[in-house]
Amino acid sequence: MTTSAITEALRLPAGPVDLTTIETDVAPGFDGSKSEGKDTLFAMGDELSDLQERLWAQCTVGSEQRVLLVLQGMDTSGKGGVLRHTIGLVDPQGVRITSFKAPTEEERAHDFLWRVEKGLPPAGFIGVFDRSHYEDVLIARVHGLAEPDEIERRYGAINDFEARLVGEGYSIIKCMLHISAEEQKARLAERLANPEKHWKYNPGDLDERAHWAAYREAYEVVLERTSTQLAPWHVVPSDKKWFRNLAIGQLLLETLRGLDLAWPEADFDVEAEQQRLAAESPVQ
Amino acid sequence: MTTSAITEALRLPAGPVDLTTIETDVAPGFDGSKSEGKDTLFAMGDELSDLQERLWAQCTVGSEQRVLLVLQGMDTSGKGGVLRHTIGLVDPQGVRITSFKAPTEEERAHDFLWRVEKGLPPAGFIGVFDRSHYEDVLIARVHGLAEPDEIERRYGAINDFEARLVGEGYSIIKCMLHISAEEQKARLAERLANPEKHWKYNPGDLDERAHWAAYREAYEVVLERTSTQLAPWHVVPSDKKWFRNLAIGQLLLETLRGLDLAWPEADFDVEAEQQRLAAESPVQ
């Protein structure tokens, strides 16, 4: 299978990560304009839907294959936009979206992966995590919600967890939606300027912005420690919303293509059934 | 609010129902061609998405409103097609689809509504039931899976249950996808003729067809007994797939319009936040 220029460009090299050297307002691997980018994404819809249906069909004959798309990024980086514009191209019957908010008291009483296990997609589904277990090494690190030893333990626990999932039939696509601090400021200002978007704004968003550098550092550690052969990270330049949506569509498309999803063969005698149908007594 | 000609045409009059008098291969309330019908549905997408987002926004400020679309119909009547083509127009973040298969052992050990309660959409969502609690008075009646007394009890239990939901903030849209026996035969033959659709075919489908008249009678009783002021049934002529998808889109659109969904007002001082954002220390 050939890999597209976009996928190649988003692949994170092994080793330490410096996010300040990865541009946010670019469209690596794609030569076209914004409107060509939108058209290219839209044109993927039929193939994505076809592949998703094959994935589902395979699970009806016992396949354990499924896809898990993990979306992480700072506020306003566009996780919701990806769900709407990219995941929205696929038949909703085959999609399972799980949003992770601040953990409840019950969730906090368990290991951090407890609620994540419960949110995993069934076989045959494309699961999407809107935020994820990575919050437990991001916000948890930035705000000291867990001891450093425990944070340290979690990187390994995450790698073990994801390796287990891949062994069970999961294809994992991890995307960090990478925006600049200036772009976030512009998007927050836009929310404040538009009364239809006030409900999306929370004064706490501005308090979080003060921790921008600490979050960047936390992301850099996450990317270095948890980008594995089995479940690599992709840093998706996301100042251009259309490129962000297109790039993630491309990753999803190539992942599904790579599963070599054939239609299942009939487990019954097709000709015999055709004869039965033709010969049935009148039904009314 | 004005009601469209389609909605008027699908509304079931009170009293006994004779499904043999309701045509299946028609497009009541719509004058246009198939391609005009498809365009009309597609053009609803933006308004449906906008209204869904308002519904979601309202739940973030405490509204309990949500929509529940119940899809019932014989095999091949197109429940999946409605999910793909009509529900697929809405942002998947705001949709919760629950498919009801044959009940598990655990589910059978509880009242028939137990698993239905668990599948209800949270506030702010459009929930869709692909089959529903109505199976418990349809297949259960046709195959004698429950005693006649228990079936009888369930009609009332369903009406009470749905009335409670409406009181809690649900808008319930119940649709019976009405196809002819000939159309089902053609669709089964098509599945058998196309190797890509063999996985959708089950020899049991043909056995069920032998009970067509019993199912029709069971539906007629359901429609008469459970079409209430609070949660009325709609019989959707479904031999024309495009009309089926359009009609259900129209019902959903009018239901959402009827909720008068305003954008929530800010619960913070907008100007103060704008000043804070403008005055913040450099973030990088």
pLDDT tens digits for A146-201?
Answer: 999 999 999 999 999 999 999 999 999 999 999 999 999 999 999 999 999 999 99
Burial of B266 (0-12, 13-18, 19+ CB in 10 A): middle
Quick one: CA dihedral A251, A54, A40, B90, positive or negative? negative
Mean pLDDT of A30-40: 97
Residue B6 has pLDDT above 90, yes or no: yes
**Which residue is closest to A20 within chain B, CA to CA?**
B284
> In this prediction, what percent of chain A has a pLDDT beyond 90?
95
**Could you tell me the pLDDT band of residue A69, with boundaries at 50, 70 and 90?**
very high
The domain A5-261: what is its CATH number?
Answer: 3.40.50.300
Most A CBs within 10 Å, among B50, B91, B142, B252, to test the A interface: B91
Q: Write the pLDDT tens digit of every residue in B15-43.
A: 999 999 999 999 999 999 999 999 999 99
Contact residues, chain A, for B57 at CB < 8 Å: 199-200
**How far, in Å, CA of B209 to CA of A38, rounded?**
45
Closest chain B residue to A79 measured between Cα atoms?
A: B93
Percent of chain B with pLDDT over 90: 95
Pair of tokens at residue B25: 């291969």
**Residues 6+ positions from A247 with CB-CB distance below 8 Å:** A6, A10, A29, A30, A234, A236, A237
Class for the domain spanning B5-262: alpha beta
Q: Which of A97, A203, A283 sits opposite B92 (nearest CB)?
A: A97
Q: Is B207 on the interface with A (CB under 8 A)?
A: no
* A–B interface: beta-carbon pairs under 8 A: 134
Q: Which residue has the tokens 């246009």?
A: B32
Each residue of B211-247: pLDDT tens digit?
Answer: 999 999 999 999 999 999 999 999 999 999 999 999 9
The answer, for A280 touching chain B at a CB cutoff of 8 Å, is yes
Identify residue A98 by its one-letter amino acid code: T
Residue B1 has pLDDT above 60, yes or no: no
Contact B58, B124 (CB under 8 A): yes
Q: Which of A84, A270, A284 sits opposite B212 (nearest CB)?
A: A284
Within an 8 Å CB–CB cutoff, is residue B276 touching chain A? yes
Instruction: Report the gap between the CA of B51 and the closest CA in chain A (Å).
Output: 12
Write the residue in A83, A212, A284 that is nearest to B284 by C-beta.
A212
Contact B263 A84 (CB under 8 A): no
Amino acid of residue B127:
G
Which one of B129, B198, B209 would you mutate to disrupt binding with A, by most A Cβ within 10 Å of its Cβ?
B198
Residue A1 reports pLDDT greater than 70: no
What Rg, from alpha-carbon coordinates, does chain A have? Answer: 21
pLDDT band at A282, cuts 50/70/90?
confident
Of B83, B209, B277, the CB nearest to A185: B277
Q: Which residues contact A52 (CB under 8 A, 6 or more apart)?
A: A90, A91, A94, A95, A126, A256
Could you report the per-residue pLDDT of B83-112, keeping only the tens digit for each?
999 999 999 999 999 999 999 999 999 999
Q: Are B177 and B79 in contact (CB under 8 A)?
A: yes
Q: Are B251 and B175 in contact (CB under 8 A)?
A: yes
Nearest CA-CA partner of B52 in B249, B232, B267, B270: B249
Q: How confident is the model at residue B2 (pLDDT cuts 50, 70, 90)?
A: low
Q: What is the average pLDDT across A239-259? A: 98
With CA atoms as reference, report the closest residue to A44 among A58, A30, A57.
Answer: A30
DSSP state of B138: T
Is A262 in the B-facing interface, judged by CB distances under 8 Å?
no
Q: Is B282 buried (19+), middle (13-18) or exposed (0-12) by CB count in 10 A?
A: exposed
Average pLDDT over residues B50-68: 97
- Angstrom distance (rounded) from CA B55 to CA A185: 27
In Å, how far from its chain's centre is CA B246? 13
Beta carbons of B206 and A263 less than 8 Å apart: no
Residue A2's pLDDT is 60
* Residue A117: closest CA among A151, A65, A165, A171: A165
Q: Which of B192, B202, B284 sits opposite A277 (nearest CB)?
A: B192
Round to whole Å and give the CA distance between B261 and B66: 11
- Which of A54, A64, A52 is CA-nearest to residue A95? A52
